[in-house]
A and B are shown apart, each in its own frame.
Chain A
């Protein structure tokens, strides 16, 4: 039955629907991660999902909220999957459990649950892990292409042993392209790209990594096509990152910070642009606000990557801008219909 009064247009997008689409869209990136780095990420995701659902159910019970109703919105699962994708493959099981429970319990439910959290839960979990366990968090698995003769990617069983018993396997872990490029600052870019297997085996931004990022780009474009979010945040973030990288990159010295393409296709850029920064709860609201929000994330990522101490910066940049989102909203209130111009900050109580 059509309602007679407005609104006449109805959206079928429920929270659960959107969350399922997001889960679906992570598939290309997940497949690339698994193909190039082995089954570690799959284990991360399974473990994170179990932890997230258990924590969510326990906290909902404590808060006297309907457990089944909130579990069915898939939001805990999305947090778990995003965190699982961001964590290094084969990191010990307790890293995943600590990170996920921090994300769900502290970053989400202590603030009031879905819709009330000022910070992206997955990124809070990631940053807590990064500053607490720097050793475990900065060891990334070596991609398929640079393994030596006779070595192959870890099988499912040895991967399980690595995760649960922490059997040391040094040959399998190494630096990420961002890390490597940052520390080889006394050479020319050509030397780095020819000399290091991680770059030699890749096309633009390091073996494996470029495809992972292209995978997340594909998933992100799918979400954009399905109108899960608007183009403003991801595009402004990527453009800002490129605009920051271009003038500082001279093409010759490896101390000059990497080309725009390198920055777009390495680390967590695409995951951050399409899956993290677009979180409707923690980002700015209006279109103009989203442009500012995304652009400042892009600038911050480049600043931290290039001049900071951490190799990647997506999580820090997103959290910093989560802080600023209410402030951005305050000054970007759109003009409401019937008014000559917007009245920033005065439209809302």
Chain B
């Protein structure tokens, strides 16, 4: 149980593919102009990642080391093609908007990385959880960047969600800033770099702060001792 908790924490935060491993940056930067684009690509990536981790883990004893990478890539490519065909069938408009970046899921290093580093060395269930959590961690970052860019660029959130969820979702659009003329640079590629950069900085800041507090707590307080501020080292 503890193992799964560790795997989940790894995927969602500590070893997040987008914020720590810095993998899969190409789709992260390219398609996160709005929440719906980010979510569409995120879901596709989760599906491929879970599927590939599962299959790789199943065949891990049968594939020799020499040919493992081509085999993994073939598996990932098959799942990507499935995801692509499914999106073409059910969310055609979004499929057209995301364009080349759906087939390019194959080249997302985060997926091959998990297959080689985790799924090929672990049993099925942990691999499944790892794939899911890495995928969710990646999608969360996609969503955060997408939301930042959509909000700054157009003043809305969740616009065009019907592309993904059908007609019910037409009313989901929130106009956060009415009469907004739009900060175009947020929607253009530089906005993606800036948003991702700020998110990485935020994560590093939070990690540093957590570490600082943990270190403080670790210092043993001796009964009766007084806190002394050391300004110089005596006798050095």
Contacts and interface: CB of A to CB of B under 8 A. Distances in A.
A and B are partners in one complex rather than unrelated chains: yes
Interface of A: 98, 106, 128, 131-134
Contacts of B13: none
A131 B153 CA distance: 12
Contact of B181 (A106, A128, A131, A133): A133
B204 to A, nearest CB: 14
Contacts of A132: 182-186
Contacts of A106: 194
Interface string B176-189: 00000111111010
Given A132-B183, A133-B181, A134-B184, 11 more contacts: A128-B185, A128-B190, A131-B184, A131-B185, A131-B188, A132-B182, A132-B184, A132-B185, A132-B186, A133-B183, A133-B184
Contacts of B182: 132
A132 B187 CA distance: 9
A133 B181 CA distance: 8
Contacts of B194: 106
When A and B form their complex, which 3 residue pairs have the shortest distance between CB atoms, in order from nearest?
A132-B184, A132-B185, A128-B185
B188 A98 contact: no
Contacts of B183: 98, 132-133
A134 B182 CA distance: 11
B196 to A, nearest CB: 13
A184 to B, nearest CB: 28
16 contacts: A98-B183, A106-B194, A128-B185, A128-B190, A131-B184, A131-B185, A131-B188, A132-B182, A132-B183, A132-B184, A132-B185, A132-B186, A133-B181, A133-B183, A133-B184, A134-B184
Nearest to A106: B194
Nearest to B188: A131
B158 to A, nearest CB: 23
B11 to A, nearest CB: 29
Nearest to B190: A128
Q: Is the interface of B mostly helix, strand, loop or mixed?
A: helix
A152 B172 CA distance: 50
A131 B188 CA distance: 9
Contacts of B184: 131-134
B155 to A, nearest CB: 13
A134 B185 CA distance: 11
Contacts of B181: 133
A326 B188 CA distance: 26
Nearest to B201: A110
Q: Which of A98, A132, A134 has the largest number of chain B CB atoms within 10 A? A: A132
Contacts of A128: 185, 190
A132 B186 CA distance: 8
Nearest to B152: A132
Contacts of A131: 184-185, 188
A251 to B, nearest CB: 39
A134 B183 CA distance: 10
Contacts of A98: 183
A273 B186 CA distance: 30
A128 B181 CA distance: 15
A128 B186 CA distance: 10
Interface string B128-144: 00000000000000000
A134 B194 CA distance: 20
Contacts of B190: 128
A106 B194 CA distance: 9
A72 B190 CA distance: 32
B104 to A, nearest CB: 26
Nearest to A134: B184
Nearest to A98: B183
A89 B182 CA distance: 21
Nearest to B194: A106
Contacts of B186: 132
Contacts of B188: 131
B74 to A, nearest CB: 40
Nearest to B182: A132
Nearest to A102: B185
Nearest to A124: B190
Nearest to B153: A132
Interface string B159-200: 000000000000000000000011111101010001000000
A133 B190 CA distance: 15
Nearest to B181: A133
B145 to A, nearest CB: 17
A134 B188 CA distance: 14
A133 B182 CA distance: 8
A163 to B, nearest CB: 16
